[in-house]
Structure 1
Amino acid sequence: MSATSDPYRVDYLHPAGEASLVPPASPQWRVFKNPISLGIGGVAAVLLEFADARIRSGVWDHSTYKADPIGRSRRTGTAALAGVYGPASTARRIIGGVNRMHAKVSGETPGGEAYRALDPGLLDWVAATAGYGFLEAYHRFVMPLTGRERAAYYRDHEPVTRLYGVQNPLRCDADFFSMLDRLYPRFEPHPIVGEFLAIIMSGQAAPSVPRPLHRALGRASVALLPDKVRDRLELGREYDLTTRDHAMLRAAGWLAERIPVRDSPPWQSAVRLGLPGSFAWRSPRKQRQLLAALGREGVPATS
């Protein structure tokens, strides 16, 4: 299948040597390889976005989300992974396609407020929710990150967010909370939020995964929300994360952190760059040692 027939197709192995937008030594490579951090962080990001009527209306009224929420989520995930691991040229192609689709999205909320998907403030918030959500999910449920690693995570992702039209990328956690405080007066509860969580917790996205893990993931995503946002969205005690949930997610995150997945985007991208396929699963210290031994600073020159 060609890139023209499937605009979301990514060949992570080719062109050999072509750099990704994010260097392999970045914390981004570690965070995005772990399905637990992606799952929890991605759902939390959508909850934060759906709190704003403009984004909620744009997604619900102008995408396939109502008819095919799983497929829509997977395409969003593909774009996110391409931005981190894909050859830079491929990442730019996919992001350009996303931007062209977003350029067609405009309308009015049920309250009569006009919106455009390419509104700079909305682009900033969508990027902020995803960036913070993935990072915080990894930090809480997989492996704690130092302040220096968190700063590097934000810094290394800026080139990707700029391609989406983001004008104010996050550079630290304080940036996220400052943006949240500015938008908070707009937040409101809505039945769509509950519908979305019900889909996630039903296990439709991955039927082979035990349903209790799906339910735990949904509750963990709610746990990532700042308390005032959870209260505003009226997500009650039925979404409280249990001790069993936490233990289950930690165990799954631990295993995913230590068992390399062959033919996955991070594995194939490492091979494309002339690195061992298991590179993203190695500790930061071992990554640095390997790169030093190879005489590299994190990414080889593009061939």
Structure 2
Amino acid sequence: MLVGLRERIAAELTATMHGGDLKLERYAGPPGDPGLFGIAPGDPVWRVHGQATGMLTGGFAALMLQSLHPLAMAGVDQHSDFRADPVGRLNGTVRFITTTTFGSSAAAREVIDLVRRIHTRVHGTAPDGRPYRADDPDLLTWVHTAEVRSFLAGHQTYAPRPLRLTPAECDAYYRQAAPVAEALGARNVPRTSLEAERYLARLRPQLHATPAALDSVVFLRRFGRTRRERLVVGLLTNASVGLLPDWARTELGIHRPAPVRTGWDRPLATAVGRTLQWGLGPSRIQAAARGRLAGAR
């Protein structure tokens, strides 16, 4: 019975996160290829992006935080199909992160080029009358910084304590993640935890919840194609609220007391994450990447 349950969890997660096909060829070869950014097992980026609970909660937190930039949210609201095909949107995001982290140089370059081409087609006018472009370097820096800050917060909250990063490793995470954003066209990308927090403080006057942002957060927190999926997403999004800065929760109108976040949301998300990790078993993507890297020896 446990074997059958584990197989069902693995199949459902693979379908939801990766579209049903891990495409291991992106990670397995050519032998010795270091990857586009030279990220290796044990590096902070590898550790953060390989920890399931932190990435799931951090991913939800990133979407909420990113929505507070009116121009970024206008682009998503006017051009994204996240409401009609949220799983497809998720597959694309997961594919980009896993490929740039664990994939070969060619595979990473391919997904970066694809995203850059998509960005050139995303432009328009926000409800406040300001023009926006998805390939705007400053907007790309915002999206990246909100994302990696959230991923790191998820890791530091949900990874087993011995596996959490030291302050120096947190800074190394920002440095190792920055070249991906720069390859997409971002500029002045924060490279330490302090720089990331100062960056958020500088942008704070520009950030607020538009009607589209509030609508997207409601959609996110209610997402799920089945009752079980809605339950899991609800627990994880509740936990992701605890990763947001206090001012971001206030802007989004989320009132979840600290005792609830720490005494209820966090333990439940930890339990859900452990169950999902048990179902998935050892990462086949990371195993393929390790095999490719070992080919250099």
Mapped contact 1:40–1:218 kept (Cα < 8 A):
yes
1:219 maps to: 238
CA–CA distance in structure 2, aligned partners of residues 134 and 153 of structure 1: 10
1:94 maps to: 111
Inter-CA distance 269–229: structure 2 relative to 1 (3 Å threshold): same
- 1:37 counterpart (15, 33, 54): 54
Bigger shift: residues 10-19 or 75-84 = 10-19
> Cα RMSD over matched residues?
2.7
User: What TM-score, normalized to structure 1?
Assistant: 0.79
Deviation digits for residues 163-202 of structure 1, max 9, x if unmatched?
1112122211221222212222222223434443344434
- 1:268 counterpart (265, 279, 288): 288
CA–CA distance in structure 2, aligned partners of residues 265 and 233 of structure 1: 35
CA–CA distance in structure 1, aligned partners of residues 221 and 124 of structure 2: 30
1:15 maps to: 30
SS of 1:237's partner is: coil
Identity fraction in percent: 30
Matched, 1:246 2:266: yes
CA–CA distance in structure 2, aligned partners of residues 16 and 209 of structure 1: 40
Matched, 1:127 2:150: no
- 2:169 counterpart (149, 152, 155): 149
Alignment of 1:260-299 (within 5 A): 261-262=281-282, 264-274=284-294
Mapped contact 2:26–2:99 kept (Cα < 8 A):
no
Mapped contact 1:16–1:273 kept (Cα < 8 A):
yes
Inter-CA distance 263–141: structure 2 relative to 1 (3 Å threshold): closer
Deviation at 1:208, TM superposition (A): 8.7
Alignment of 1:167-246 (within 5 A): 167-202=187-222, 204=224, 207=226, 211-237=230-256, 241=261, 243-246=263-266
Bigger shift: residues 10-19 or 234-243 = 234-243
Deviation at 1:260, TM superposition (A): 7.5
2:88 maps to: 71
Mapped contact 2:235–2:269 kept (Cα < 8 A):
yes
Report how many aligned residue pairs link the two structures: 269
CA–CA distance in structure 2, aligned partners of residues 158 and 15 of structure 1: 25
Q: Which structure shows the bigger proportion of residues in helix conformation?
A: 2
Inter-CA distance 45–222: structure 2 relative to 1 (3 Å threshold): same
User: What TM-score, normalized to structure 2?
Assistant: 0.81
CA–CA distance in structure 1, aligned partners of residues 52 and 60 of structure 2: 12
